[in-house]
Chains A and B, each alone.
Chain A
Amino acid sequence: MGEFRQAKWEEPPIFELGAKGRIGCEVPEVEEEVREEVGDIYSLLPPRMIRDKPPNLPEVSEVEVIRHYLRLSQMSYGVDLGPQPLGSCTMKYNPKVAEEVAWDRRVTNLHPLQREEFVQGILKALYELGLWLCEIMGLHKVSFQPAAGAHGELTGALIIRAYHRDKGEERDEMIIPDSAHGTNPASAAMAGFKVVRVPTDEEGQVDIEALKAAVSSRTAGMMLTNPNTLGVFERRILKITAIVHEVGGLMYYDGANINGILGLVRPGDMGFDIVHLNIHKTFSSPHGGGGPGACALCVRRELADYLPIPVVEYDKLRGSYFLNYSIPKSIGRVRAFHGNVVPLLRAYVYLLSLGPQGLVKVAKLSVLNTNYFMAKVKRIKGLEVPYGPQIPRKHEVVISAGKLKRETGVTAEDLAKYLLDRGLHSPTIYFPGIVEEAMMFEFTETETKENIDKYVKALEEAVRLAYRDPSALKSAPSNTAIRRLDLVRANKWDTFAPNYRKYLERVKRRA
């Protein structure tokens, strides 16, 4: 078997394709009677608001558009091509049955403001999905308004703020562990909170003494993910939630890491008050090269009155579903319309397919995959499992290449690039920041044992090469569509080229 070679097309920016006068899509003809009735449309417009110079868009035929983008697709990499074990990203396989539903014309052609009687089907799906997700979380009421996880965090933080204000309290501090996702502190700051950091102890868990010292009457809440970003379950979670509740704070659960405990442990039972779920992670909607995702924000009953509008509800008397816009203490709107509905529908299909038994299987097999990988990778010289290597991991595991770097100069980034050369997508690197040369792996339940073995073998070979000829790793990758990029140049103010015009001035000429 030959080695991996990614397709490489010499594909110029699309602006350099095509020819003057070409078009890729026909615009419907204006009917003659309409033209006659209306007359010259330009005479109806204020002259100074008419465009005088056409935009620089490509002039390409349909076949050229298809070829251009299919060539670009061949120089891209997704779960459909191979493992993509990005930690905390939960890159699981996206079942195709969900795509069939997502592209159904009865979904794609549904306007969000249509009369309720015209949209009962979709409202029912959203309502049922909400019930299921609340059951999985052990909470009571859901909002689908946020468009993504971070948006959910911001919405949750605004709810926390509204809750305290409603009680006449001004609390301005949000407690966040040092291992948290970067979105947590960013969201808390956007909601007007000061971030108070708590450290991680040697077992990879929240340092309880430090937490006790951090809480006060200024504590609005704590944002936590459990299992945390090290893949370790915070076993003193009840104590943590009690400490925060005792001072009157609320517990926020970052649901990015829930995959390994589905149907086994519930955030609501751990004492969390608000949870966001990334529909595009655990609930299998595809990541789309960065988005769209979707989010479910589940809250405890007492917080239901603060949810953003609208909320999907069921009217028992009329026997119909509706969008409720009158929520007494709602924080308001956080986006237009009703949420990222299409990914939510995919989650509906996913849960309908798996049922309770399937969900538990997802959790257990994802944890099995993580620990299997950890057991094997632990034996590789130069790689270490920081923070209690004897503790089983859940959805993900963080490996440190710190020792390797000290002994060979080869970094986590170099290893990542080497993996690309083998046709394997790299893990998340340099996160969490508390781990030196961090490599964060999450295979999820959808990866095969064979691929995990292959991945371990690639890592072994990379490390062996690192001790023998570190410079060989520095020149990776060479089997991808392009070799390592000059990111300093990409970011420097006088070479920064974020559009085609700057590309012509600053990149093409000097390439």
Chain B
Amino acid sequence: MEDSHPWIPNSPKGIVREMLKVIGVDDVEELYSDIPKDLMLNRPLRVGRGRPLSELEVLREVNKLLERNRGTDNVLSFLGAGCWPHYVPSVVKEVIRRGEFYTSYTPYQPEISQGLCQAMFEYQSMIASLTGMDVVNASMYDGSTALAEAVLMAVRVTGRREVLVPSTSNPEYREVLRTLISPKGIKVYEVPYEKERGLMDLEALKGLLSDKVAAVYLENPSYLGFVEEKAEEIVEMAHEVGALAIVGVDPLSLGVFRPPGDYGADIVVGEGQPLGLGLNFGGPLLGIFAVKWDSKLIRQMPGRIFGATTTLRGGEVGYSMVLQTREQHIRRERATSNICTNEALSALAAAVYLALLGPKGLRRLGETILYYSHYATKRLNEVEGVKAPLFKAAHFKEFVVSFEKAGVSVEEVDERLAKRGIQGGKPLKKEFPELGEAALYCVTEVHRKADIDRLVATLKEVLEVGG
């Protein structure tokens, strides 16, 4: 107890003594006297290196570990699949590293947290405009839980218990959905796709739709990269049977692509990671959740929402959290969701990112990505035995590459690339066995022509010459 510690300011003996005197006890141990003796641990924990380490020692230890990571600085990577490589502008990092923001709590006292409240309000407004929706919450954990919450919400709103999802949608999202709705007796049906284009099979959809369906989910762009160009028909078909349409988006695509609000989506969800978050081994992420201006939907929304208001006196504009009676700290077991801690700082990063790019930058970025991903598919097609993209449909930054005719397994391709410092796309065999030897490749603005040429040359080398 004697030693002082940089993070524990009252540790010096003299301060402890003074404080104990005020309390009226002789020893800190006495403050634990109400705990049954036999419950006390009475031995040191086996934690860390068995003793406190100095900052210098800690950084040395951690450095040893991080040296064993090979990130995208060391390896040319074509992975996406729900966490995509995009450039993170310095300004984003600068802003979210401000202590006033990142060391703050949820702004339950809005008067002293106006800045944060306003920033969240602005985030909501930007996402609303980007997606063509009206009310956006201040974040869910990630795209997958946003989808699960959207389905739970659709079930509450419609009183129905079936949900239709494309069989081409993100397989992790489908798994999360199944886990989180499992207690509610909701049935999930997968809608098959057209073999040639990957798009949703509308005949099959028609067969599955009924007045029991609470929601139809579609992704744009889809997990497998293609643009679901029949989105509008799908939404209409859902609405015809009284089901809600949930659309999953890549927000970064919306500088170029039509926003889901435009084609009738009731709920938009998505992964906000492309908006200035970095890869971070897949977490934290940012769950986007938006709905149309419909009181039935808004009142059933999960998560925190910020709004503009005025001061009680003087009519000055200010911001605060709103509609909190939906939430767990007030409504307890009758809350719309149990979510409390969210991903506010990720939302802040996304807002800064969108502000930096603006409408023009976002469009340009979308175009740049389209150029490079299409350059990649063109060049990859030149490689003997490789087909890219597998689906005959427009795509954004991802596409399926088939190695079916290359005479080697996709794992073997990956292995050979890895030996040459390249991390190939995500193998799809496990989740999409019907696609054969295929992988999901991702190309964005972080890839330059030389990177793609290197991938192509390396593939030629490893496929023609072998391992």
Is this pair of chains taken from one and the same complex? Answer: yes
In the complex, whether A34 has a CB less than 8 A from a CB of chain B is: yes
Task: Give per-residue flags for A454-476: 1 if the beta carbon is below 8 A from chain B beta carbons, else 0.
Answer: 00000000000000000000010
Known: A115-B418, A483-B316. A448 touches B9 (CB 8 A): yes
Question: Are A121 and B328 closer than 8 Å at their CB atoms?
Answer: no
Question: Are B345 and A292 closer than 8 Å at their CB atoms?
Answer: yes
CA distance A25 to B30 in the complex (A): 59
Known: A264-B41, A352-B53, A485-B320. A14 touches B10 (CB 8 A): no
Known: A292-B346, A367-B32, A482-B318. A358 touches B136 (CB 8 A): no
B residues 26-76 touching A (CB-CB < 8 Å): 28, 30-36, 39-41, 44-53, 55, 58-59, 61-62, 65-73, 75
CA distance A334 to B379 in the complex (A): 38
A122 CB, min distance to chain B CBs, angstroms: 6
A152 CB, min distance to chain B CBs, angstroms: 10
Contact of B449 among A34, A58, A93, A100 (CB under 8 A): A34
Task: Give per-residue flags for A354-392: 1 if the beta carbon is below 8 A from chain B beta carbons, else 0.
Answer: 111111111011011101100110000000000000011
- CB contacts (< 8 Å) of B41 on chain A: these are 263-266, 269
Question: Are A31 and B144 closer than 8 Å at their CB atoms?
Answer: no
A487 CB, min distance to chain B CBs, angstroms: 6
- CB contacts (< 8 Å) of A62 on chain B: these are 91, 356
Question: Are B227 and A46 closer than 8 Å at their CB atoms?
Answer: yes
In the complex, whether B359 has a CB less than 8 A from a CB of chain A is: yes
In the complex, whether A437 has a CB less than 8 A from a CB of chain B is: no
In the complex, whether B102 has a CB less than 8 A from a CB of chain A is: yes
Contact of B310 among A132, A420, A486 (CB under 8 A): A486
- CB contacts (< 8 Å) of A331 on chain B: these are 179, 182
Question: Are B39 and A238 closer than 8 Å at their CB atoms?
Answer: yes
In the complex, whether B341 has a CB less than 8 A from a CB of chain A is: yes
A388 — nearest CB in chain B belongs to which residue? B34
CA distance A398 to B262 in the complex (A): 50
Question: Are B134 and A110 closer than 8 Å at their CB atoms?
Answer: no
In the complex, whether B405 has a CB less than 8 A from a CB of chain A is: no
Question: Are A352 and B22 closer than 8 Å at their CB atoms?
Answer: no
Task: Give per-residue flags for A51-83: 1 if the beta carbon is below 8 A from chain B beta carbons, else 0.
Answer: 110111111101001101111111111111100
Question: Are A337 and B69 closer than 8 Å at their CB atoms?
Answer: no
- CB contacts (< 8 Å) of A132 on chain B: these are 45-48
Known: A121-B66, A449-B19. A338 touches B281 (CB 8 A): yes
Contact of A182 among B121, B141, B329 (CB under 8 A): B329
Question: Are A110 and B257 closer than 8 Å at their CB atoms?
Answer: no
At the interface with chain B, which of A206-214, A297-305, A403-411, A503-511?
Answer: A503-511
Question: Are B144 and A335 closer than 8 Å at their CB atoms?
Answer: yes
Question: Are B362 and A113 closer than 8 Å at their CB atoms?
Answer: no
B72 — nearest CB in chain A belongs to which residue? A109
- CB contacts (< 8 Å) of A105 on chain B: these are 71, 73
A405 CB, min distance to chain B CBs, angstroms: 19
Question: Are B111 and A71 closer than 8 Å at their CB atoms?
Answer: no
CA distance A33 to B129 in the complex (A): 34
A residues 304-355 touching B (CB-CB < 8 Å): 308, 331-343, 348-349, 351-355
CA distance A416 to B130 in the complex (A): 38
CA distance A362 to B28 in the complex (A): 12
- Most B Cβ at <10 Å: residue of A25, A118, A148: A25
B residues 103-146 touching A (CB-CB < 8 Å): 103-116, 118-122, 124-126, 128-130, 134-136, 138-139, 141-145
B side interface size, CB within 8 A: 211
Known: A124-B68, A356-B50. A68 touches B355 (CB 8 A): yes
- CB contacts (< 8 Å) of B429 on chain A: these are none
Known: A78-B99, A367-B28, A498-B121. A112 touches B368 (CB 8 A): no
Question: Are A89 and B284 closer than 8 Å at their CB atoms?
Answer: no
In the complex, whether A286 has a CB less than 8 A from a CB of chain B is: yes
Question: Are B360 and A335 closer than 8 Å at their CB atoms?
Answer: no
CA distance A324 to B310 in the complex (A): 52
CA distance A42 to B333 in the complex (A): 50
B75 — nearest CB in chain A belongs to which residue? A118
In the complex, whether B322 has a CB less than 8 A from a CB of chain A is: yes
Contact of B255 among A55, A190, A375, A486 (CB under 8 A): A55
Known: A101-B62, A333-B175. A109 touches B278 (CB 8 A): yes
Question: Are A238 and B365 closer than 8 Å at their CB atoms?
Answer: no
In the complex, whether A217 has a CB less than 8 A from a CB of chain B is: no
CA distance A61 to B426 in the complex (A): 37
CA distance A136 to B45 in the complex (A): 7
At the interface with chain A, which of B77-85, B188-196, B236-244?
Answer: B77-85
Contact of B362 among A57, A264, A308, A356 (CB under 8 A): A57
In the complex, whether A233 has a CB less than 8 A from a CB of chain B is: yes
CA distance A288 to B309 in the complex (A): 24
Question: Are A333 and B176 closer than 8 Å at their CB atoms?
Answer: yes
Question: Are B361 and A336 closer than 8 Å at their CB atoms?
Answer: no
B168 CB, min distance to chain A CBs, angstroms: 16
Question: Are A339 and B283 closer than 8 Å at their CB atoms?
Answer: yes
B residues 175-202 touching A (CB-CB < 8 Å): 175-176, 178-180, 182-184
A424 — nearest CB in chain B belongs to which residue? B112
Question: Are A507 and B309 closer than 8 Å at their CB atoms?
Answer: yes
- CB contacts (< 8 Å) of A1 on chain B: these are none
Question: Are A340 and B66 closer than 8 Å at their CB atoms?
Answer: no
Question: Are A352 and B8 closer than 8 Å at their CB atoms?
Answer: no
Known: A235-B35, A339-B283, A499-B124. A365 touches B341 (CB 8 A): no
- CB contacts (< 8 Å) of A359 on chain B: these are 45, 47
At the interface with chain A, which of B159-167, B209-217, B300-308, B456-464?
Answer: B300-308
Contact of A6 among B67, B112, B283, B354 (CB under 8 A): B112
B78 — nearest CB in chain A belongs to which residue? A111
CA distance A113 to B77 in the complex (A): 10
B206 CB, min distance to chain A CBs, angstroms: 21
In the complex, whether B375 has a CB less than 8 A from a CB of chain A is: yes
In the complex, whether B445 has a CB less than 8 A from a CB of chain A is: yes
- CB contacts (< 8 Å) of A168 on chain B: these are none
In the complex, whether B11 has a CB less than 8 A from a CB of chain A is: yes
- CB contacts (< 8 Å) of A503 on chain B: these are 121, 125, 308, 317
A residues 23-61 touching B (CB-CB < 8 Å): 23-25, 27-28, 30-31, 33-35, 37-38, 41, 44-46, 48-52, 54-60
Question: Are B310 and A106 closer than 8 Å at their CB atoms?
Answer: no
In the complex, whether A273 has a CB less than 8 A from a CB of chain B is: no
In the complex, whether B408 has a CB less than 8 A from a CB of chain A is: no
CA distance A115 to B69 in the complex (A): 10
B73 CB, min distance to chain A CBs, angstroms: 5
Question: Are B317 and A511 closer than 8 Å at their CB atoms?
Answer: yes
Question: Are A287 and B10 closer than 8 Å at their CB atoms?
Answer: no
B152 — nearest CB in chain A belongs to which residue? A190
CA distance A148 to B284 in the complex (A): 10
Contact of A291 among B44, B170, B343 (CB under 8 A): B343
CA distance A347 to B142 in the complex (A): 21
Question: Are A353 and B58 closer than 8 Å at their CB atoms?
Answer: yes
- CB contacts (< 8 Å) of A445 on chain B: these are 7-8, 10
B235 CB, min distance to chain A CBs, angstroms: 13
Question: Are A48 and B144 closer than 8 Å at their CB atoms?
Answer: no
Contact of A51 among B8, B24, B256 (CB under 8 A): B256
B286 — nearest CB in chain A belongs to which residue? A292
Contact of A334 among B126, B129, B179 (CB under 8 A): B179
In the complex, whether B434 has a CB less than 8 A from a CB of chain A is: no
In the complex, whether B15 has a CB less than 8 A from a CB of chain A is: yes
Known: A84-B105, A372-B22, A485-B311. A75 touches B173 (CB 8 A): no
Not counting A158-B179, A290-B342, A502-B134, a sample of 19 additional A-B residue pairs whose C-beta atoms are within 8 angstroms of each other reads A23-B360, A57-B354, A57-B359, A57-B362, A73-B98, A76-B113, A111-B282, A132-B47, A147-B141, A148-B141, A148-B340, A185-B333, A238-B39, A352-B61, A375-B22, A376-B22, A483-B311, A491-B322, A496-B323
**Ordered nearest first, which 3 A-B pairs have the shortest CB separation?**
A192-B183, A112-B282, A337-B282
Q: What are 19 A-B pairs with beta-carbon distances under 8 A?
A: A25-B361, A27-B364, A49-B394, A72-B119, A81-B103, A182-B328, A189-B334, A192-B183, A289-B105, A331-B179, A357-B52, A362-B8, A392-B34, A394-B31, A417-B111, A425-B109, A489-B309, A500-B121, A500-B125
